[in-house]
Amino acid sequence: MARAVSTRKTVVVTIFAWIVALIIFFPILYTIITSFKSETEAIQGFSLIPSGTVESYGAVQAQSNYFKFFLNSVVLSLGSTFLALLISVPAAWSMAFSPTAKTKDILMWMLSTKMMPAVAVLVPIYLIFRDFGLLDSRIGLTVMLTMINLPIVIWMLYTYFREIPGEILEAARMDGASLWGEIFYVLTPMAVPGIASTMLLNIILAWNEAFWTIRLTTTNAAPLTAFIASFSSPQGLFWAKLSAASTLAIAPILIMGWFSQKQLVRGLTFGAVK
């Protein structure tokens, strides 16, 4: 009897949850559907069944060289992530394994740099970039994205490294492992999952960053955020093309995001919620 009630409750919960989830997911779903419609179909009123044409995808590439923007997004997000990891792995490592009295203050200070509103430094950054010829350059923007995500990367790595038990090092040392042996055979394998999730989250953040990427680029270094933003002009009325461009822009990150749900909570709350 109790079992029957709980099964019925599960069915009710399931139906309700699926309705809510479909409503929330609807804008994304509808974008994907519309991307497979022709332009005339797209404005013919509500329809969930597209004709299945891929002409919009072809048109986006032909008209605006979509691939170039895509490539810029890839270069910027991977480049800035790699650079950020290069700088922060040693820092997080030393803070986690040989903390000093000042470690906590340094961490808090690093976090505080993330609180600085981007607009507050828009003018100086713009002028510095202009004077050094970095406007609309991949290098300039990579450095920019590295810097704005650096505190999050350090924090995330720190919270992962801190969970590696120190005793295991002692055990390795007792067994006669050298310092480098310790690092390569004991610590690195344990740190890899943490580094991987940090990398994933940072790629997502860099890919979706939409202030500096729009303001500091025009054409050469412009990633997908800037490309899509340009659709706000009248050409944005071509909805099937807008949908195709949008679908391509969000698909890789959406899939990565699905895999990193758990790490996301940790990374974005600076370890305050696990």
Partner 1 sequence: MATQNTKALARWMMAPSVGLLLIWMIVPLAMTLWFSFQNYNLLNPGNVSFAGLFNYQYFYTDPAFFQSIWNTMVLVVGVLLITVIGGIALGLLLDQPMFGQGIVRIMIISPFFVMPPVAALVWKNMIMHPGYGVFADISRALGLQPVDWFAQYPLFSIIIIVAWQWLPFATLILLTALQSLDGEQKEAAEMDGANFVNRFIYLTLPHLARSITVVILIQTIFLLGVYAEILVTTNGGPGYASTNLPFLIYRTALLGYDVGGASAGGIIAVILANIVAFFLMRAVGKNLDR
For the CB of residue 42, give the shortest distance to partner 1 in the complex, in Å: 8
Which pair of tokens denotes residue 82? 């790699």
Size of the site for partner 1 (CB under 8 A): 95
239 binds partner 1 (CB under 8 A): yes
Binding mask 119-158 for partner 1 (x = CB under 8 A): xxxxxxxxxx------------------x--xx--x----
Which pair of tokens denotes residue 16? 């309700």
Nearer to partner 1, 190 or 256 (CB): 256
How far apart (Å, rounded) are the C-alpha atoms in residues 182 and 195? Answer: 18
Report the site for partner 1 in 77-106 (rule: CB under 8 A). 87-88, 90-91, 93-95, 97-98, 100, 104, 106
For the CB of residue 46, give the shortest distance to partner 1 in the complex, in Å: 4
Q: Which of 136, 266, 144 is nearest to 200 (CA)?
A: 266
Q: Which of 270, 251, 13, 25 is nearest to 158 (CA)?
A: 270
For the CB of residue 185, give the shortest distance to partner 1 in the complex, in Å: 19
For the chain, the residue count is 274
Q: How far, CA to CA in Å, does 192 sit from each of 89, 164, 184, 188, 221?
A: 11, 11, 11, 6, 31
Report the site for partner 1 in 160-219 (rule: CB under 8 A). 204, 207-208, 210-211, 214-215
229 binds partner 1 (CB under 8 A): yes
**Burial group, residue 153, by CB count within 10 angstroms (0-12, 13-18, 19+):** buried
Report the site for partner 1 in 29-48 (rule: CB under 8 A). 30-31, 34, 42-43, 45-46
